Amino acid sequence: MADEFAKGLTILTGGGLGWMVLSGWYTTPGFEETQLIGGLAIEEPDFFSQLALLSREVLFWFAILGALTFWVLIPAVKQMRGTTVEENE
């Protein structure tokens, strides 16, 4: 179980760090305004800015779903598999 926790924590921190970096670059217009979740700081994003904004969304969902997978889904499947093996014996 500690192995799944470590993997989930690694995914959460890695994805969260990537999300925060990209959010700081592209959605923080200034220090006095809303940071990380504000509107776009650039008027018309070019191709690479759009790619970074897409990567930002992907990293957010990767962090959330990856952590939930290793913290909830995999232990639940192992628990269910263990109970079905015991019932069949």
pTM here is 0.79
| Per-residue pLDDT band at 88 (split at 50, 70, 90) | low
For residue 15, what are the CA distances in angstroms to 29, 52, 62, 86, 88?
22, 14, 6, 37, 40
At 41-80, the pLDDT tens digits run 778 889 999 999 999 999 999 999 999 999 999 999 988 8
